[in-house]
Structure 1
Amino acid sequence: MKLDDEVVRNLAVAKLFRENTGKINSIDYSSDGLNMISSSDDDSVIIYDCQTGTKKRSVNSKKYGVDLIHFTHAKNTAVHCSTKVDDTIRYLSLHDNKYIRYFPGHTKKVVTLCMSPLDDMFLSGSLDKTIRLWDLRSQNCQGLMHVPGRPVAGFDPEGLIFAAGINSESVKLYDLRSFDKGPFNTFKLQRENDCDWTCLKFSPDGKTILLATNGAVIRLVDAFSGNVTYSLQGHTNNKGIALEASFSPDSNYVFSGSTDGQIYGWSSESGRLVATLPSEHNPVIQCVQFNPKYMMLATACNHMAFWIPQGLED
């Protein structure tokens, strides 16, 4: 089945999970698309089976809290940042709910965390105005960059380049092998008037950089020229919340939540709004991601919804 406008408009909730007592603050798929993980303000981590549409397991991080959770390349481990005690990043074994390693260094809230698609490297960015590069095998920071404001960061699909969005006005591109020499390209964008960048993602084909905000606009930027190709609008965000936006695996669509309980889907090729999907979310939808391998969208507020095209429910 190929994703097209009709299929996007036909997405419907196939499974709804009411496992959480607090807001789900982040979700992530395993690279094979078979599993999904969520972290919540209620300090719980839940793993879902995407093929059967069932909850597999839950673990807790009551002492440190949990946010920005990501699978590593090993299916039974994840990294996450903390919401209590300190701002250390933690490497968790999901199998026995034990921590494998701690990554100390940030002195304020970590606001961006991403795994390399290639290996055990990962990036973190914090309100302490630093971006750090890490390797899962060592608790020592592999690289440190001081930046002039709140950072967002993301790896390109090849894992060779990363982009850092700084102060909601410039995107800097770094070669991972020589990032200490500084960016090899910088795109200056017009400063957002009434919102900040809260999320940076490359499209799966590597051609576009998505900049989500805590306002009612999502920017799509050409990853080679730095030109803003589209400003996606139509969704509502009247609470200043960091709403996640995500590409479909074919890079042709962008999905976002909103503060009105609806999911919005745009064509990334034309910038037009393709679908507005009503949901049972209540009403702020913070997390939205499309499965990298299967025809499934996941959205989350205090509860989790799995969407598939109507007609596929069987």
Structure 2
Amino acid sequence: MQDTNQFVATYDSLKTMIFDAETGKVVTQLANDNSTSDPNYRINRVISHPSQPIIITAHDDKKIRYFDSNSGRMIHSMVAHLETVTTLAIDPQQTCLLSGSHDRSIRLWNFETKNCIQEFTAHQKKDDESIHDVAFHLSKPYMASVGADSIAKIYA
């Protein structure tokens, strides 16, 4: 989000809202494309683009959703993995999105075209879980992931 006086929160009720940090009042509620009672819609991660008015969410229903943070309107939805999408990260150049899933894969997406640029298997499953988090290094060309297998990996 471009406005540093705002923050995003998601709830067990499956709602996602943008709040004014000073007043605590709801600025915008994100619209979704699913019944809010559907447990597969559960949101596992929410991130905001650092320079564009876009919020991105990762869901149990295998989808990644993009929202306009000004209007709350969903602007894109895509099936991104074979299982639950657990984590997201935007690279420092703001051209790629990284996603991780319990399907054991990490996928690198072109931010503009939404096309998958690269996919690789990263972690072993443990109790039906796999990738817990992904991240980009702020100044070096590295990515990292951590998984349910208790391993942290760094990729160059």
1:163 counterpart (144, 148, 156): 144
Q: Using a 3 Å threshold, how does the CA distance of structure 1 residues 41 and 75 change in structure 2: closer, same or farther?
A: farther
Q: Does 1:136 align with 2:115?
A: no
The whole-number CA distance in structure 2 between the counterparts of 1:66 and 1:169 is 24
State TM-score, norm by structure 1: 0.41
1:54 counterpart (9, 21, 25): 25
State TM-score, norm by structure 2: 0.77
Note if contact 1:125-1:131 (Cα within 8 Å) is conserved in structure 2. yes
Q: Using a 3 Å threshold, how does the CA distance of structure 1 residues 159 and 135 change in structure 2: closer, same or farther?
A: farther
RMSD: 2.4
Aligned residues: 144
The whole-number CA distance in structure 2 between the counterparts of 1:90 and 1:126 is 15
Note if contact 2:47-2:57 (Cα within 8 Å) is conserved in structure 1. yes
* Superposed displacement of residue 144, structure 1: 0.3
Amino-acid identity (%): 22
1:71 counterpart (38, 43, 48): 48
Residue aligned with 1:138, SS: coil
The whole-number CA distance in structure 2 between the counterparts of 1:57 and 1:164 is 32
Unaligned runs of 5+ in 2: 36-40, 125-129
1:173 maps to what in 2?
A: 154
Structure with bigger gyration radius: 1
Q: Using a 3 Å threshold, how does the CA distance of structure 1 residues 156 and 142 change in structure 2: closer, same or farther?
A: same
Matches within 5 A, 1:1-314: 30=1, 33-61=4-32, 63=34, 65-67=41-43, 68-83=45-60, 86-149=61-124, 150-151=130-131, 152-158=133-139, 160-175=141-156
Residue aligned with 1:139, SS: coil
Residue aligned with 1:117, SS: coil
Letter in structure 2 aligned against 1:131: I
Unaligned runs of 5+ in 1: 1-29, 176-314
1:169-213 CA-partner distances (Å, limit 9, x unpaired): 3222113xxxxxxxxxxxxxxxxxxxxxxxxxxxxxxxxxxxxxx
Q: Using a 3 Å threshold, how does the CA distance of structure 1 residues 77 and 31 change in structure 2: closer, same or farther?
A: closer
